A and B are shown apart, each in its own frame.
Chain A
Amino acid sequence: EAQVTQNPRYLITVTGKKLTVTCSQNMNHEYMSWYRQDPGLGLRQIYYSMNVEVTDKGDVPEGYKVSRKEKRNFPLILESPSPNQTSLYFCASSIITSGGGSTDTQYFGPGTRLTVL
């Protein structure tokens, strides 16, 4: 089954304790992206990757790191989490269209609910 998986699904941690949220897709997609969603708001893009070893900032990258060493995986790293990073996080993947250099339909993971105390 084609899917995007995220782990963990729920995480409660304390300020300053480094954590990693994993994201994996089995569709051989070039593009992967991380979003955060706060209550009552839409998704805001944190980082994205157009291919292996190619990453770039989205709208809210502060406090986050990513890496793309393999095509299928795109982990989100919080080196020193703070309470304002308490949020619902989504990973997504997509093909890159050959013609216009754009992403196509994005497939989203189930979300990771992170609480930083």
Chain B
Amino acid sequence: DAKTTQPTSMDCAEGRAANLPCNHSTISGNEYVYWYRQIHSQGPQYIIHGLKNNETNEMASLIITEDRKSSTLILPHATLRDTAVYYCIVHHKSPNAGKSTFGDGTTLTVKP
């Protein structure tokens, strides 16, 4: 099963772009990369997902390398409310479709 590796923590200045990297070198086939974030001890919240192409929504952009072994989540204009733990995970395909592996995530601290 594909596992992900993320830096433990990152800082970002308010108003600047936050770039959060994730390695998923064992990703295979049509497995999607998903990003979630968890603010304090609330339930994780979906941010964005992608397969091969770069994706953008109202919250963030996702850049996936051509070989799909890594990706970067971009928060274009970070605010203090973006301080959270960010998780990059791979959604497995059948027969392990139900398995879901969250790593320890990256703690992003946005500073004034």
- A and B from one assembly? yes
Binding site for B on A (CB under 8 A): 4, 31, 33, 35, 37, 40-45, 48-50, 56, 58-59, 88, 90, 92, 96, 100-111, 113
Given the known interface contacts A102-B91, A102-B92, the answer about A109 and B97 at a Cβ–Cβ threshold of 8 Å is: no
Which residue of B is nearest A113, CB measured?
B41
> How many chain B residues touch the partner (CB < 8 A)?
28
B51 CB, nearest partner CB in chain A, Å? 10
The answer to whether B7 has its CB under 8 Å from any CB of chain A is: no
Partner of A100 from the list B30, B41, B44, B99 (CB cut-off 8 Å) is: B30
With CB as the reference atom, state the residue of chain B lying closest to A107: B46
Interface centre among B85, B92, B100 (most CB of A within 10 A): B100
Question: Between A and B, how many residue pairs show CB distances below 8 Å?
Answer: 79
- Cα of A110 to Cα of B42 in the assembled complex, Å: 6
How far apart are the CA atoms of A107 and B45 in the complex, in Å? 7
Q: What is the interface of chain B, defined by CB distance below 8 A to chain A?
A: 30-32, 34, 36, 41-46, 49, 85, 87, 91-95, 97-105
A100-B93, A103-B91 known; A45 and B99 CB under 8 Å?
A: yes
Flag if B94 contacts A101 (CB, 8 Å): yes
| A50, B34: Cα distance in complex, Å | 19
In chain A, what residue has the closest Cβ to B105?
A42
Complex formed: what's the CA distance from A44 to B99 in Å?
10
Closest Cβ neighbor of B32 among chain A residues: A102
Contact in complex: B101, A59 (CB < 8 Å): yes
Whether the Cβ atoms of A33 and B45 lie closer than 8 Å is: no
- A-B residue pairs, 10 tightest by C-beta: A108-B43, A101-B94, A43-B102, A48-B98, A42-B102, A42-B104, A105-B46, A101-B97, A100-B93, A102-B97
Could you tell me if B103 and A42 are in contact, using CB atoms closer than 8 angstroms?
yes
Q: CA–CA, A113 to B32, complex, Å? A: 30
**Cross-chain contact A111 with B43 (CB below 8 angstroms):** yes
Q: Which residues of A contact B104 (CB under 8 A)?
A: 40-42
In the docked arrangement, what's the CA distance between A96 and B93, Å? 10
Q: Is there contact, CB below 8 Å, between B102 and A103?
A: no
CA distance A48 to B46 in the complex (A): 19
